[in-house]
Structure 1
Amino acid sequence: MRDRFTPLLAAWLRLLEPACVRCRLPADSGLCPACVDALRAFPLPAAAADDPAPVRAGLCWSPACAPLLRRYKFHGDLAAGAALARLVLPELRQAARPELLIPVPLHPARLRRRGHDQALELARLWGRELGLPVAAEALRRVFDSRPQTRLSAAQRRRNLQGAFVARAGLPSSIALVDDVLSTGSTVRAAAAALRTAGVDGIQVWVLARAPGRPTARLGSGHEQVLHEHATEQSGTHRLIGFEGTKAVGGMA
């Protein structure tokens, strides 16, 4: 009897071991070395002339990271988000230190549909790791703009005009936090609201940056990530996180 249960017990113990969020092979820190190499194999895009502020991104939006970003943003996989956030930390440590982290907010209606705020989770993790305060209420999204995925850059800018309002009395040096920078329309609108409120030192911190026009260069696998905005369904996504195989409720 004991011999019969030994293989089963060994299999369960393997399931409880920490695993890479990308390939599910054993890993001690969220991502195994091979997957870290795969994520970093794509060179970071250069700064663009129309960037709304200096941008710090740890990854290029690529076939390697797109599935993880999709799992985090649209399906509540907080473990995938936390693994990517920690991978980006060395890049953020090189940035000028802001006084405050401000996540780019979702409109309350979209937050209810999605079930979690990906930018706020990132800001909280980076704030803990870097010893920086987070102001979740500093920026407010005042209307729920239509999904941006099928809009041109000019249409995106018009779609987001006046979408954000910033509170008064913020420090002069902040970092705007979001998951991905594609055309920059969202952070441009958020930065404009902050400047109206008197903030003049703005950085943008993101997990990944798309190389130029993402739908033109990244192919159908990446368009799926972009177009999930247009196909989000009503209801709350379940938040899924893993430490080994144990579900957790936030990005630790």
Structure 2
Amino acid sequence: MHCQPHDKNQVYIWLKNKQTCLLCDEPAEADIPLCTACETELPWLGDQCRTCALPLPAAGLTCGGCLKDPPAFEQVAVPWGYGFPVDSLITRFKHNAKWPFGHLLADVLGQFLHYRFDEGLPRPEALLPVPLADRRLRRRGFNQAQMLARWLGKRLELPCEEGTLRRILDTDAQQELNAKARRRNLRNAFALAPGAAVEGRHLALVDDVLTTGATAHALARLLRDAGAARVDVYCLARTPKPDPLQALRVA
């Protein structure tokens, strides 16, 4: 079953026309449908953990969670905190199939990553979307991470290797679980496709939101165990940790 929407003949003709902002309908000056005023008001992530991008009170720190139990991924690159209107745009894209909102967010994420590459963030060899279980894919009709990775790959001129990672267990929903329970829930949930070429490569996982990082850690551990040299994570938004005391235990 091919559930993913086709890139051709989609609803993105507006990318070639005079732009109006998708958020306020005012004219957009850039090549994406977002005006300068709305772009400025997005919940841009400030000081954050050097590894997992958890919001922190000062720059250049590592959060207590990453110090105590370092994740398998090297670094998270994410432009926004999970706040309005980004949270609403992600929800409408993910659960209501409002693909223009996802395309818009992927374009701005691509601009953000170009800036990060210019500032010294190592450029990966390929993008790997976080996979969905078959049952969830059938119910939703598409994998939002796969669509984001496709759009992002075009803007960054990087290959999107969609078949490398597989979700072989349909685990319980992660939303109501704490970090420890999430990691336990994802144990053995993923696998590499037969013949997947990852050894010695720098790869980047693509997803919509990073919460505890359990999914990213599980996939990065799988890739690192298979010989990947480095695994980064690219996502649209980062949620704050529920326990503020954890974020304050920094170095």
Decide: shared fold, TM above 0.5. yes
Q: Secondary structure at the match of 1:165?
A: strand
Q: 1:21 to 1:85 in 2, by over 3 A?
A: same
1:60 shift after superposition = 1.4
Does residue 74 (structure 1) correspond to residue 92 (structure 2)? The answer is: no
- Asked whether the equivalents of residues 109 and 152 of structure 2 are also in contact (C-alpha less than 8 Å), the reply is no
Q: Select the residue among 235, 240, 243 that pairs with 1:206.
A: 235
Question: Which amino acid in 2 is paired with 1:141?
Answer: R
Q: Secondary structure at the match of 1:190?
A: helix
Q: Select the residue among 128, 132, 149 that pairs with 1:106.
A: 132
For the aligned residue pairs, the C-alpha RMSD in angstroms reads: 2.0
- Asked whether the equivalents of residues 148 and 156 of structure 1 are also in contact (C-alpha less than 8 Å), the reply is yes
1:161 shift after superposition = 0.6
Runs of 4+ in 1 over 4 A off after TM superposition: none
Q: Which moved more, 1:90-99 or 1:153-162?
A: 90-99
Structure 1-normalised TM-score? 0.73
Structure 1: distance between partners of 2:237 and 2:180? 22
Question: Which amino acid in 2 is paired with 1:100?
Answer: A
1:143 shift after superposition = 0.9
Q: 1:76 to 1:170 in 2, by over 3 A?
A: same
- Asked whether the equivalents of residues 45 and 79 of structure 2 are also in contact (C-alpha less than 8 Å), the reply is no
1:191 shift after superposition = 1.0
Q: 1:175 to 1:41 in 2, by over 3 A?
A: closer
Q: Select the residue among 160, 183, 195 that pairs with 2:212.
A: 183
Identical columns (%)? 38
Q: 1:126 to 1:17 in 2, by over 3 A?
A: closer
Question: Which amino acid in 2 is paired with 1:65?
Answer: V
Structure 2: distance between partners of 1:198 and 1:41? 34
1:148 shift after superposition = 0.8
- Asked whether the equivalents of residues 43 and 84 of structure 2 are also in contact (C-alpha less than 8 Å), the reply is no
Structure 2-normalised TM-score? 0.73
Q: How many residues align?
A: 200
Extract unaligned runs of 5+ from structure 2: 1-16, 51-62, 245-251
> Which entry has the higher C-alpha Rg, 1 or 2?
1
- Asked whether the equivalents of residues 101 and 174 of structure 1 are also in contact (C-alpha less than 8 Å), the reply is yes
CA deviation map 1:125-151 (0-9, x unaligned) = 111111111110100000111111111
- Asked whether the equivalents of residues 26 and 35 of structure 2 are also in contact (C-alpha less than 8 Å), the reply is yes
Considering Cα pairs closer than 8 Å and 6+ residues apart, tell me whether 1 or 2 has the greater RCO.
1
